[in-house]
Chain A
Amino acid sequence: MQKYSVFNLIKNALKGHKDWEVAWKDPTPKAEYDVIIIGGGGHGLATAYYLAKEHNITNVAIVEKGWIGGGNVGRNTTIVRSNYMHDENGLFSEFGMDLWRNMSQELNFNVMFSPRGIINLAHSDAQMNAFSRRGNSMRLNGIDAVLLGREEVRTLIPMADFSENVRFPIFGGLMQPSAGTARHDGVAWGYARQADSMGVDIIQHCEVTGFDVDNGKIKGIQTSKGNIKAKKIGLCVAGSTNILAEMLNMKLPVETHLLQACVSEPIKPILDHVVTFGAGHFYVSQSDKGEMVMGGDLDGYNSYAQRGNLPTLQHVLTEGIAMLPFLSKLKMLRTWGGIMDMSMDGSPIIDKTHIEGLYLNCGWCYGGFKATPASGWTFAHTIAQDKPHELNAGYSLNRFSTGHLLDEKGLGTKTWIS
């Protein structure tokens, strides 16, 4: 594989950029693989990369219905964080933070990880108490957390609405200084390039149409490019999980919902952190291009549409303007939607299934992007060793029937209510 470096850049610039190798190939599927990963998003690509790197399993195919980076990995708001209260979520995400910090070096691809800090604003004494508890839990798990008072928040986000007579005054906030953002499609491309160089076949525009299961054991898949045999198969398809589950006669504790995001026109640097509104559901950061990147609530009904409706966007941006009034002056540049695999307790599932050789990775709700490296790493381990790693042991499929829920937000089973 050609190394990306400043010397290579200069060398190729002098030759008119004609000699760059393709970043990944476009192979035709082989008849059989050791492992097939369905879904060429961030999680699928990361899984294939760690299967090759950590477990020396390189006879692997990634089967993707669309194209690399066209799904949720290219549709999220790029936030990377580990500010969770529950041990399972905190330890898993913090393991991921270590992978994020080294990702650009490891993948030889600049993913522009920018640990600018995330601030969750609090708007009542009760919320400050809850944040103080969450911050303490985070610190017990080795995650950095700082409780900020109103004046400390004012120093960091002076343009927020600090007037006295607002409906949701800012009482303070909880900050994770090591959280931040990363260039989302760079993550997909970086993993894809490395996985490809280690022998993984990335098969794009190949839709799975069925599964071959014999005697409770997975044998292969049927696709739009023919049948492919495999010893092990991992599902990594986020919002499309239920479609594949139906082919397998499985019902899962997951519903597919629509989440929108939007960016404003680019402006000069004004917001240094990722900031969330605590009295509703709104988050914002400023991209390197200067756009304000914003998101919030689900549209609120089951959907596979990948495009949203205006009432939800209006609701979300109303919250944004309540927090940062200057947003009302900005023009909107783009809005888009992605489909979320909303699990019934808000936490993901990385586990084996009742079918031998079939592994499941889904239920990421709003938080799939930041989990990309840790999800890939633990899913690769689960597939290679045929058992979950201790980091994803809590993300079991049967926790719903046994009652061991990971209800980080305590929202219950109405996944569309946030």
Chain B
Amino acid sequence: MLYIKCPYCGMRSQNEFAYGGDATVKRPELNKEVSDKEWDTFVYLRKSPRGKHLELWHHVSGCRQWFKAQRDTVTHEIFKTAEIKEDI
């Protein structure tokens, strides 16, 4: 069982959260010409590192806020969680 610290609600069990994937992926900017390659990179290509991973989580059965977490993909240790606008 993972315990995840929601930046808004504090420590809660994994059951309250939904995973949102790699947080380092940047959507191409709005109102700009976007090449197929940029779309391809944004939609499909992932680094999926072994070790520290910056990712999105959704406190879906809680405050319903999205936030960022830095987690180890081997030990599952969660080093830090932060609001979306914050840097980790």
Binding site for B on A (CB under 8 A): 242-243, 246, 251-256, 300-305, 309-311, 344, 400-401, 413-414, 416
Contacts and interface: CB of A to CB of B under 8 A. Distances in A.
A309 B2 CA distance: 8
Contact of B14 (A302, A311, A416): A311
24 contacts: A242-B47, A242-B50, A246-B47, A246-B49, A251-B45, A253-B44, A254-B48, A255-B21, A255-B46, A256-B48, A256-B50, A256-B73, A300-B19, A302-B22, A302-B48, A302-B55, A303-B74, A304-B73, A309-B2, A311-B15, A400-B43, A400-B44, A401-B37, A416-B19
Given A253-B46, A309-B1, A311-B14, A401 B40 contact: yes
A401 B36 CA distance: 7
Given A309-B2, A401-B40, A416-B19, A251 B46 contact: yes
Interface string B46-76: 1111100101000000000000000101111
A304 B74 CA distance: 5
A86 B84 CA distance: 39
A301 B55 contact: yes
Contacts of B19: 300-301, 416
A221 to B, nearest CB: 18
A305 B1 contact: no
A348 B73 CA distance: 23
A280 B54 CA distance: 29
A310 B1 contact: yes
A411 B19 CA distance: 16
A246 B18 CA distance: 27
B26 to A, nearest CB: 13
B50 to A, nearest CB: 5
Which has the most chain B C-beta neighbours within 10 Å: A252, A254, A302, A305?
A302
Contacts, number: 69
Contacts of B55: 301-302
Contact of A305 (B18, B22, B40, B76): B76
A255 B20 CA distance: 13
B35 to A, nearest CB: 10
Contact of A242 (B2, B14, B48): B48
Contacts of B53: 302
A178 B14 CA distance: 40
Contacts of A413: 43-44
Nearest to B42: A413
A413 B48 CA distance: 14
A309 B49 contact: no
A165 to B, nearest CB: 27
Contacts of A242: 46-50
Nearest to A342: B48
Nearest to B37: A401
Contacts of B13: 311
Which has the most chain A C-beta neighbours within 10 Å: B2, B15, B40?
B40
Contacts of A401: 36-37, 40, 44
Nearest to A251: B45
Contact of B75 (A300, A305, A400): A305
A2 B75 CA distance: 44
Contacts of B40: 400-401
Contacts of A251: 41, 45-47
B21 A304 contact: no
A368 B49 CA distance: 21
Contacts of A302: 22, 48, 53, 55, 73
Given A304-B73, A309-B2, A401-B36, A416 B44 contact: no
Contacts of A303: 73-74, 76
Which has the most chain B C-beta neighbours within 10 Å: A246, A401, A414, A416?
A401
Contacts of B44: 253, 344, 400-401, 413
A393 B45 CA distance: 21
Contacts of B1: 309-311
B46 A254 contact: yes
Which has the most chain A C-beta neighbours within 10 Å: B1, B43, B71, B73?
B73
A250 B87 CA distance: 26
A309 B14 contact: yes
A318 to B, nearest CB: 12
A304 B50 contact: yes
Interface string B1-39: 110000000000111001101100000000000001100
A409 B49 CA distance: 26
